[in-house]
Structure 1
Amino acid sequence: MSLALSLALRELRGGLQGLRLLAVCLILGVAALAGVGSLSSAISAGLAERGQLILGGDIEARLSGRFATEDEVAQLAALGPVSEVAKLRGMASNPANEERTYAEIKAIDANWPLYGSFRMDGGDRVEPGSVALSTALADKLALRTGDAVVIGSLPLKVGGIIVEEPDKAGDGLGFGPNLLMARADLEATGLLGPGSQYSSRYRVRLPPGTDLAATTKGLEAAAPDAGFQFRDATNGAPSTQRFVNNLGQFLTLVGLTALVVSGVGVAGGVSAYLGARTRTIATLKTLGADSALVRAIYLWQIGLVTLGAIVVGLGLGSLAPWAVASFAADSLPVPPSLTPQWGALAASAAYGLLIALMFALWPLAEAAKMPAARLYRSLTERKARPGGGTIAVIVLAAIAIVAITLLRAGDTPFVFAFLGAAIGLVLLLWALASGVRAVAARAPRPRNMLLRLALGNLHRPGAPTRQLVMALGLGLTLFATLATIESNFSGQINRTIPDKAPSFFVIDVPREGIEGFRTAIAGVAPGAEMTVVPSLRGPVTAVNGVPAGEIKANDEAWILRGDRGLSYAAEFPQANTLVSGTWWPKDYAGPPLISLDDDAAKALGLKIGDSLTVSVLGVEIEAKIASTRKIDWQSLGFNFAILFAPGALEAAPHGWMATVAVEPAQERGVQRVVGQTFPTASIIRVKDVIGQVSELLAQLSAAIRAAASVTVAAGIAVLIGALASGARARTYDAVLLKLLGATRGQVALATLAEYLLLAGIVSGLALALGTGAGWFVITQVFSLEWEPIWWPVVATVGLGAVVTVLLGLAGSWSALSARPNAVLRGL
């Protein structure tokens, strides 16, 4: 080993020119993986470090539709200081200009916040009689500190503009700007009428060292039927954590794709490097070196360059949390932790080493195994197949990559599907390359000399057809996949929602005022289309009698998390499709029945006749499943995952929700009359909701585009590697053709015909495979509708094919320009 290392270092003194492609490919792949992994891990670490700040306490007890009794508050207060926070929606208005807008309201008591600090530009306390506004709300209503504002029906004063709100990340996504007000003022707003949708949250600050899990279980056991939902600081923002984990897993797999694609480039780079060293290897063997020594020499060289490339890639990737925190902090739920994420970096380094080992061993074993005489004739000799030991190491490296990926994955089936698709793509391209060579060898010879040369180049000994097909296939499939995802994100909002959307959502219409609401809307907007439904909220507390907290469910079982919107209906709802069971008769009068969203039923393994228990204002109602429905959530109507049959919920206090569709010229009149007649109702412009969803999709698209850009760069590097691996043989062919009388233009045309033929074959396959991969990502990963815009996808693949052909010609230019005498003297 010392002799091999000595010889390896001596040869490396001449420079790394031949191994630059290996280094570039690994740097790109490792940097992509390290960056994505570090950012995801850093955000998760940020959530964990700020658990108490995000939750607002060590433990939170949440109720829906009611406030805790004195005895319940006293039980919590026995554990430590308690802060009460109420969350609801309402209308905020500027009486000076009559501007009104929907707002997310947080009513806080004097103990808030238990952790962290609150700041606004007018002080650090929200006093009774005043509110603190977010910058977005203040701008929308044209309000400043000291101005008057009306919340519901209560006039208040703007105490300041919010600068820092410690538990904002734990509030989740809202569809309106937020404001803070004193808990003592809440009842006077009129927003807490019968049926109003609100939640009360009681945060407790526990003594240091208290066992959070044991304390939470004790509270749950003490009040099993009170309707409380408990959370602790170890999971202060579960929905945010799930989103970060899912997006991080997807982007990690994108990064792993970049590294696998880079691995193909590594193979091309190593093959080209060793091809340029054939005379050196042959000389070593002539002087007595055996295959093991040759293999060790170049394994040392490749290993040293690999380690250097991995270190550089890790360094670049580790900067991702700092870069995102510096330039895109507003897009993150919490600031990422800026400490090194050693787990993510270690995994990325392992991936880099294993990929380099997988793809470098094959060409290295081919070169080391060939006898010296055959090495001197390597341009025309078929390469020796590696032995069983080399193949076994390659297989073990692949198994190790799969194992690491599965150990770090949150969704094992998805990872299996992704890895299976990636392996299937590589095998399919390998088979396609073999098929192209076989067909080219057996096809009739064209009369045109240039076409005959192009066809012969596809199957001659040493032809780089397999490398080119792999490079073109991987690159163009990647381009097609990204274009499909991008076009779906663009078409998701623009093509589907505007044609179906109502003008307004109206929430919390008083139960006794629903007829007056219809009359008021008809008065200012004759011909308005209205849909009115009853509205309640409550959590699912048991499934077939088993408490919801004891059910081990995956992320798809969202129906068990938090409160659910509830309603009742006699007629089958629009934008729904009956999947199983039967719909109840309009005059149904019997035991409680429900119709359940089909996806939710599948996630929990429920069937017709099973039961769900739902808590409505603290009263638990057990209902049998009568039917399941497929819901078109994009209809932007009021869709409920749980619908009750008539007779179960009518007696419960509740309000109404409505969708109103009017002409654009009538919108302002509708907003005004609802505000004047029903000050406690919330009216939401659908355009505002669409704007928020569009912004979220744009951020998601940008994240995917940023991660995938590295993969695109790796794909280009693969193509360069494929060209480099065949450059020596192509130069030799060009020289022989020139000696036989061919001009440089004729050789160039033959090369162009070869690349066009390959690009045409591979482009069709890449378009089909990329479309399938894009469909999987859109529908299965992000659970969005399949709404592609086809022309960008086809144009992207076509442009990618043209670019690869041009790159191929550029890479072949040195071969076309080679002087015969210089090349022949070097043989």
Structure 2
Amino acid sequence: MSDWSHAKRLALRELRGGTKGFRIFLACLILGVTTIAAVSSLNQSISAGLARDGQALLGGDIDLRLSSRTVTDDQQAYFDQIAQTSHISELRAMVSSGEARQLVELKAVDSLYPLVGGVKTAPQLPIDQALADKGAIVDEGLLTRLNIKVGDSVRVGQTDIVIRAVMVKEPDRIASVVNFGPRFMVSMATLEATQLMQPGSVVRHHYRLGLKDGLTVPATVEDLKERFPEAGWRIRTPDNAAPGVENFIDRLALFLSFVGFTTLLIGGVGVSSGVRDYLDSKIATIATFKCLGASGDVIFKTYLLQILILSALGTLIGLALGAALPFIAANVGSDFFPVQPEGGFYPNSLIAAFFFGLLTALTFAFWPLGRAQNVPASALFRDKITPIQSRPAFKYQAFAVVSAVLLIALVLYTAHNIRFAIVFIGAAAASLALLKGAGALVMRLARRAPHVKTTALRLAIAALHRPGTTAPSVILSLGLGLSVLVAVSQIDQNLRNQISDELPKQAPSFFFIDIQNDQADQFDQTLQSLKDTENYKRVPSLRGRITKIDGVPVDQVTIDPQSQWAVRGDRALTYATQPAEGTKIIKGEWWAADYRGDPQISLDAGLANGFGIDIGDTLTVNVLGRDVTATITSLRDINWKSMRFDFAIIMSPGLLEYAPHSHIAALHVADSAEKTVEKTVASDFPNVSVIRVKEALQSARALMDGISSAIAVAASLTVLAGTLVLAGAMASGRERRTYEAIVFKVLGATRARMVQAYLIEYGVLALVTAAISAVIGTLASWGVITFLMKMDWSFDPFSIVATLVLCLILTITAGFLGTWRALGQKAAPHLRNE
């Protein structure tokens, strides 16, 4: 206790002199903690916004979704007993105005819509008035695309519809990552007049239940499952009103957490450098303490207390900045987020960020603190000429290891994805080792370099390995940030190449949906008779929901995260007598062409692996309210990137042929014939929806632009953190640079020659840092694209060149800013002071 008392008194006395030596330390810690706190708080604020608006976004207390069919009379009668029920139908349809056509997301509502919230339009009209007499409320984008205005009429299916208002707010609509067209809202009567709903048409029916007093959502959901076990509907409640948005936000938070952890890691390097440089500046003070009898423990505790106080200060500042983001997001949420974030403080996120900051500071501070404590006073007095190279005592090394283990445990505990966290920790450790190894290699090669006659080059080589060189700090500080930037750039460019180059080459020009059975032959003849068209394909299509995997309900099966998409809702499936051209069956055998026995399934091999099933196991799919259990007899290797007309689930012929269903088709068309194809389909088959693949790819590119911009901004935080650490390294060497400059000037060196030496030194450091960052970042992008995204990876040299240029600019600029002042110092005052 006496040691702690002395240490406290000495620490507070030194802190009264200010935090000059800790500015970079504080800046790095604040940046890292702010990023962690902001990302976690924002994620929670969006989740809170979803929970707050869950009922309105869902449209009621319970939402039951069916594909291509409505509820039975018994089911509707039960709904009427327990709730007020609103029926909504959604489908894709073509809207025509003269020669112009546009695919839209058509939504038909009944007189009770909406059960929760209200529709806002421009001009503001009651919804029943706006939709009466074949009226419609549409997104403003539709008016622009068709060059029409409110009051004009458009053609949908077999009827004309009047545009009555523009949609301003739709209470149960959430911003979607992918949209196939603008919203087009009509009444149920108008939808019936269009004659778009035919047997087998792809229509999503929603039944929103507003429960009567006394009934609870959980109990009602269980009752629905017991009463109608084979209904095949998808049940959603307010706590999962927007699963797609939640998945998107979670993945974005996962990436941003990666950026935050990397920023904090780089900040940790800055903490270590800041503590070491601060202690180096206190050499005389520490030596004096030791000469006056202070024990090593008192020295350690004195500066540990200072580190703890300043770490707490920097962490609290970072928490305050990070905690402000949800409030900012709540004010601008409608413009940048799919739902309005809930402004507020989120203690769990802030507490986690606080411990991240504190553990990071301790993990990187224990080593330099223990090093200073373990060195005798005589060595400290000589440190300016011969820097201390000793290792701290074992117990201080143990303290650093324990702190690092706790930090790793915190990363794992707070991670959105434990597998990702483990990969991140391994990659971070490997990157640190590579960068430290690169710094050591540069010093060793410089030390063993042959003697050169050029003075500037000789000085530069010597500076790379002399005591106190900044080479390791420069390579480590900038290397991590630039590695992240390279990885992000390579991943972004690979995704863009797929969307802009690869997919357009392989994808058809059009997809056609909702082709009726009685239209199929005529549709084939019409499309195949058109000029400049090729590769026409048509297949039957149904919608089904996987309910059991090998006899076990899907909610009781452990499914690989990569295969979860297949059980989240209805899936497209088909039947076929023979495998399509190019099908790769890797296990099992296809059924005979005349097979009419018990249902069999040919399944995507990747999906089978994710489900944990194999040949001989069963899959139960609910099709049109009936559970169909089929045996898996073959597995296919499907390359989804090829844009082939393929299905994860293909059933044997027989049973599904007699179920109401429609067909989908694809066609490659020359640019000159696109309008002809659209016009022909619109006039001869008004119920068929035409999806232009070119427009879908343009939407995907626009989406990528927005995501890339956000990710680039986030990734630049790592470079900013590295720049701060670099600036700290240069600032810490300013005194030594001044000393060297004075010596060189006395020996006759000119400023031009010294500038040349510095240019070579920092140029070499920049090239080495850029090279190692390019290797690490490229390997990371290759791993993500190849193993996580299952795509073909290609090398993008532009990102490497950009990294090299950025690294040269940052390193040389920081180097000159740190040495220019030293070059301008006059020799006489310093020599007299010595």
TM-score using structure 2 length? 0.93
Contact residue 464 and residue 725 of structure 1 kept, 8 A: no
Corresponding residue for 1:106?
A: 107
Q: Distance in 2 between matches of 1:381 and 1:795?
A: 36
Structure-2 separation of matches of 1:714 and 1:577: 49
Mapping of 1:630-709 within 5 angstroms? 630-709=637-716
Partner of 2:417: 411
Asked whether 1:551 is paired with 2:557, we answer yes
Cα separation, 1, equivalents of 2:213 and 2:290: 71
Residue in structure 2 matched with residue 511 of structure 1 by the alignment: 517
Question: Separation in 1 of the partners of 2:475 and 2:114?
Answer: 61
Q: Please tell me whether the aligned partners of residues 64 and 537 of structure 1 are also in contact (alpha carbons under 8 angstroms).
A: yes
Alignment of 1:363-378 (within 5 A): 363-378=368-383
Name stretches of at least 5 consecutive residues in structure 1 with no aligned partner.
none
Letter in 1 for 2:50: L
Cα drift, residue 344 of structure 1:
1.9
1:64-463 correspondence runs (5 A): 64-94=67-97, 97-121=98-122, 122-126=124-128, 127-128=131-132, 129-169=134-174, 173-207=178-212, 210-327=215-332, 329-379=334-384, 380-446=386-452, 448-463=454-469
Residue 719 to residue 574, structure 1, CA distance change in 2 (3 Å): farther
Partner residue, 2:56? 53
Residue 608 to residue 820, structure 1, CA distance change in 2 (3 Å): farther
Q: State whether residues 265 and 720 of structure 1, in contact with CA within 8 Å, keep that contact through their aligned partners in structure 2.
A: no
SS at match of 1:399: helix
For residues 542-621 of structure 1, the aligned pairs below 5 Å read: 542-556=548-562, 557-573=564-580, 577-621=584-628
Partners in 2 of 1:171 and 1:216 — Cα distance? 26
How far apart, in 2, do the equivalents of 1:76 and 1:797 lie? 65
Considering only aligned residues, what root-mean-square deviation do their CA atoms show, in Å? 2.6
Mark the CA change 1:760 to 1:249 in structure 2 (over 3 Å): closer, same or farther: same
Q: 1: CA distance between counterparts of 2:307 and 2:136?
A: 65
SS in 2 for 1:483: helix
> 1:536 is matched by which residue type in structure 2?
L
Compared with structure 1, are the counterparts of its residues 603 and 801 closer, same or farther at alpha carbon in structure 2 (3 Å cutoff)?
Answer: farther
Please state if 1:42 is matched with 2:45.
yes
Q: Secondary structure of 1:339's partner?
A: coil
Instruction: Please give the alpha-carbon distance, in whole angstroms, between the structure 1 residues aligned to 2:703 and 2:583.
Output: 26
Q: Which of 750, 753, 760 is the equivalent residue of 2:757? A: 750
Q: CA deviation at 1:449?
A: 4.8
Secondary structure of the 1:623 match is strand
- Corresponding residue pairs, total: 825
CA distance in 1, matches of 2:457, 2:674: 67
For residue 69 of structure 1, report the CA deviation from its aligned partner. Answer: 1.2
User: CA 1:210–1:817 in structure 2 vs 1: closer, same or farther (change >3 Å)?
Assistant: farther
Residues 437 and 746 of structure 1: is their aligned pair in 2 closer, same or farther, counting only changes over 3 Å? same
How far apart in 2 are the matches of 1:99 and 1:774? 43
Give the conservation status (yes or no) of the 8 Å contact 2:29–2:271. yes
1:32–1:707: 8 Å Cα contact kept in structure 2? no
Q: 2-side partners of 1:172 and 1:733: how far apart?
A: 59
2:717 equivalent in structure 1: 710
Contact 1:29–1:259, Cα closer than 8 Å, also in 2: yes
State the 1:328 CA deviation: 6.3
d(CA) in 1 for partners of 2:144, 2:591: 49
Whole-angstrom CA distance in 1 between matches of 2:359 and 2:406: 8
Question: Which runs of no fewer than 5 residues in structure 2 stay unpaired?
Answer: none
- Does the 8 A contact of 2:485 with 2:715 survive in 1? no
Q: CA deviation at 1:383?
A: 3.5
How far is 1:535 from its partner? 1.1
In structure 1, what residue type is equivalent to 2:419? P
Change in Cα spacing, 1:779 to 1:693, as seen in structure 2 (3 Å) is: farther
Q: Secondary structure at the match of 1:458?
A: helix
Q: Distance in 2 between matches of 1:52 and 1:369?
A: 63
- Whether the 8 Å contact between 1:170 and 1:237 is mirrored in structure 2 is no
Pairing 1:494-533 to 2, within 5 Å after superposition:
494-533=500-539
User: 1:485·1:774 contact (CA, 8 Å) conserved in 2?
Assistant: yes
Q: 1:402 to 1:625 in 2, by over 3 A?
A: same
Aligned-partner Cα distance in 2 for 1:518–1:526: 15
TM superposition shift of 1:776: 3.2
Asked whether the equivalents of residues 506 and 659 of structure 1 are also in contact (C-alpha less than 8 Å), the reply is yes
Deviates more, 1:559-568 or 1:280-289: 280-289
SS in 1 for 2:657: coil
C-alpha deviation, 1:39, in angstroms = 1.7
User: What do the CA deviations read for 1:141-187 (whole angstroms, capped 9, x no partner)?
Assistant: 33433332332212222232111111102888431111222123333
Q: Does 1:470 align with 2:451?
A: no
Q: Using the TM superposition, give the Cα deviation of residue 539 of structure 1 relative to its aligned residue in structure 2, in angstroms.
A: 0.5
TM-superposition CA deviations, 1:657-710 (whole Å, max 9, x none) = 111222222222211211111111101111221122112222221221121121
Query: In structure 2, do the counterparts of structure 1 residues 822 and 371 end up closer, same or farther at CA, with 3 Å as the change threshold?
Result: farther
CA separation in 1, counterparts of 2:258 and 2:248? 15
Whether the aligned pair in 1 keeps the contact of 2:532 and 2:673 (CA below 8 Å) is no
Distance 1:171 1:370, change over 3 A: closer
Distance 1:22 1:170 in 2: 41
Other structure's SS at 2:561 match? coil
Between stretches 152-161 and 348-357, larger displacement belongs to 152-161
Question: In 1, are the aligned partners of 2:439 and 2:471 still within 8 Å (CA)?
Answer: yes
766, 774, 796: which one aligns with 1:789: 796
What per-residue deviation string (whole Å, max 9, x for no partner) do you get for residues 303-350 of structure 1?
A: 333223223222222333344455563342111111123222222222
The letter of the residue matching 2:725 is V
Name the amino acid aligned to 1:498: P
CA distance in 2, matches of 1:804, 1:788: 25
1:597–1:629 CA contact under 8 A, matched in 2: yes
CA distance in structure 2 between the partners assigned to 1:681 and 1:821 by the alignment: 90
Residue equivalent to 1:16: 19
Indicate the SS of the match to 1:631: coil
For residues 239 and 393 of structure 1, do their structure 2 counterparts lie closer, same or farther at Cα, with a shift above 3 Å needed? same
Label 1:98 to 1:497 Cα distance change in 2 as closer, same or farther (>3 A). same
Q: Contact 1:170 / 1:236 at 8 angstroms: preserved in 2?
A: no
Calculate the TM-score normalised by the size of structure 1. Answer: 0.94
Following the alignment from structure 2 to structure 1, what is the Cα–Cα distance between the partners of residues 832 and 603? 80
1:33 and 2:36 are equivalent in the alignment? yes
Assess, with a 3 A threshold, how the Cα gap between structure 1 residues 369 and 4 changes in structure 2: closer, same or farther.
same
Deviations, residues 407-466 of structure 1 (Å, cap 9, x unaligned): 222321121011110111112222333333344444544455544443333333333333
Q: Is the 8 A contact 1:27 1:313 kept in 2?
A: yes
Residue type at the aligned position of 1:530: Y
In 2, the alpha carbon distance for the partners of 1:817 and 1:580 equals 76
Higher mean alpha-carbon deviation, 740-749 vs 539-548, is at 740-749
Distance 2:712 2:337 in 1: 17
Residues 510 and 693 of structure 2 are in contact (CA less than 8 Å); yes or no, is this contact kept in structure 1?
A: yes
Q: For residues 833 and 503 of structure 2, what CA distance do their matches in structure 1 show?
A: 67
Describe the SS at the equivalent of 2:288.
helix
Which stretch shows the higher mean deviation, 370-379 or 441-450? 441-450
State the secondary structure of the residue aligned to 1:145: coil
